[in-house]
Structure 1
Amino acid sequence: MIEFEDLNILAWNVRGAASASRKRHMQEVIRAKHISLIFLFETHVAFHKVSTFWSRLGFQPIHVVEAQGHAGGIWCLASVSIAGCFSVVDIHNQAITVRASKGGQSWFCTGVYASPIPSARLHCWEHLKNLRTSVDAPWMVLGDFNNSLYHSDQRGGNFSFAQAVPFRDMVDSCNLLDINPAGYKFTWVRRRGGVPILFKKLDWCFIDAGWRTAFPEGAADVLPRLSSDHHPILVRCGPTPLRGPRPFRFEAAWLMHEQYAGLVQDAWALQGDVSSKLELVKDKSVLFNKEVFGNIFFRKHELEARLRGAQRKLERVDSASLWRLHDSLEQELDGVLKQEELLWFQKSREQSFLLGDRNTKYFHTQTIVRRRRSRIHSLALPSGEICDQEDVLKREALLFYKSLFCSQVQVSPCSMSSVFPPPLTEAWSCGPYSGSD
């Protein structure tokens, strides 16, 4: 379905949607992953208390099942630009089903938050089996199922076959397949006194054969865990877009940095006309952004990479020192996201309004049109790690084709004699030419 290839879906047991740290993390994921449809679970708060936050992000509710205290809660939110494509077709206290329609094509998406009480989860399984009979288009079912399918989906504790069998029966009866997301093996962790005691795969994304046929490039990722004991799940209906380098633009947020005013004053104090001074300010601004201000993004990506590595290692080993490092990285990353939040605010329309007439084309900022460059979603690196980072994908693809087509062949000088003609002799190359020649 070409109409929905740009649709990215996020499902996350947020464990409290009003928390400031969760809001920052949510805002970062929405911006970085270009999310259009969101399912949030265990919200712990009434939606109207945070509706202003979501309006500022450009999202509106499709349907909300409010939490009862700290129990339950399912929010289905969509970007304002495509909210008209979604309509609610079924509501259950443990699931919301919407129909996505555009250009004469449609499919179903069900967000599930299954009850943590095993007996109550059985009602959810029966509901999904009954819903299967009425779904007449491609179907996706994703969310927090509070259940594992197999013993390999759990590390630590006792695996319950009695709870897994009804869950597996529901998946088979609905003809659903696991989309097999890339990233982490487990999606939930329980800690006691700072020490992990249990890892499980509780968050799933299931699709039927019709959805796989309609979205052959569709894929999913388990994102890093932050501020919650659940990992978010990202689903891309289309291929992963790879973007080229971004052209230089003046960033209004530089004006907030304590060193930038002095940079402009020093450049303006030098001899020369206005044009040369503006050019000097431009050159110094590029260097300033690279060496000083740009470090915000460098630190963010570095911390995210270290956090991913710590979480992957914690899936295999238990270490109190590693958990302390994990918590320290999480706290430091939250601080960097606060700094980046200020930067993105400076790039908004409010900043353009404050600058007024000073907002010349030199001080202009614009949105870069992101287009699809490749159909590669992720690669298995030689180390065995599954990677979807754009710079790594480009580098690995280049190395692969270089090794494939650029072989080093030793060629001896004598072997070239059959390729090139012999050199001209002195008789041919010297002296005047006669008529017969």
Structure 2
Amino acid sequence: MVGDFNEVLCGDDKFRGRQINTNRAFDFKACLDSCSFVDLGFAGPKFTWSNRRQITDLILERIDRCFANPLWRILYPEAAVTHLPRTFSDHHPDLIELSRPNVNNLNKPFQFQTMWLMHPNFPRLVKDAWFENNPLPSAVSNFTERAKKWKHEVFGNLFARKRKVLARLSGAQKALANRPNEFLVGLEKQLLDEYSSILLQEEEYWALKSRLNAATYGDRNTSYFHISTVIRRPRNKIRCIKDGRGEWIANEEGVKKHILAGFEALYTTGLDMAPISSSISQFSCCYFTEEDQDWIGRVVTEEDVRNGLWTLKPFKAPGPDGLDAGSFQCFWSKVGRSVCSVVILPLIVELSLNT
């Protein structure tokens, strides 16, 4: 649903003029919720209407919007809305693109998938990658390479397997209806068990992508997790960015260069060193007691490393290697020694140098 709704939803949707009518805004929001509408967002100027006055009397509002229900969002996950330049009208035209070509040909980075844990062969893959006395960087690299190969050759595409099982199940049930026999009954049961397993894996897949806690929302909420992922995905994409002069950069290469330049300016300095003007003892602050100092300076144990790892949420924010805390927690008996060696050994060396 697209159009001029002649109503704002919040104070940020308006610049100057009379205060928004909160009752009308709440009614508008209630109507959208009752229809299960989701705002498609936008790129371009924030406001879509102007009274075209001088700056002292200027009023700007966002009253042109694009809404869709979750089913439409699933059908067109890449749909995007752009506010085009306003010319002779007092409204900005809205451009809806149902899909955009993916010009980024970079390979997707590796990421650990929780649905792999449900495959009976996956523990053996971990065991083979993390053989005894293998250093952690080497073990991680070995595991990711093996996991990529295993994903394509063994696990396969989850959705293709689902379609294949459904097609086989349909064929088996048709044959069973025409000529019932023991083999077809057993085949139907086998395919139903396989389909049930795929559904569990699919639920884990969408739960991980939606960044929501599956335990909180119950079992078999695959459609809910799927919708959450589809709605969140466009918000995580940078389609355009505004530079320091207030101009929008829509070209992908231009966006990359602007972000890179921003980080280079942020982390670049002309100073080679910063002199210390006073000793640390002159600072007014609290100090650790001798007991606390002894506890902090003690040798770190494997149990300390394990307890620290278990304080992290298992499947949130994977590292640059694509592994999250949960991937180490699930197979701690196999990976624990290599993880502890990376954490404990440098601390022991530093402690020996300071004593």
| TM-score after normalising by structure 2 | 0.32
- Could you say which structure has the higher helix fraction? 2
- Give the structure with the larger strand fraction: 1
How does the TM-score come out when normalised to structure 1? 0.26
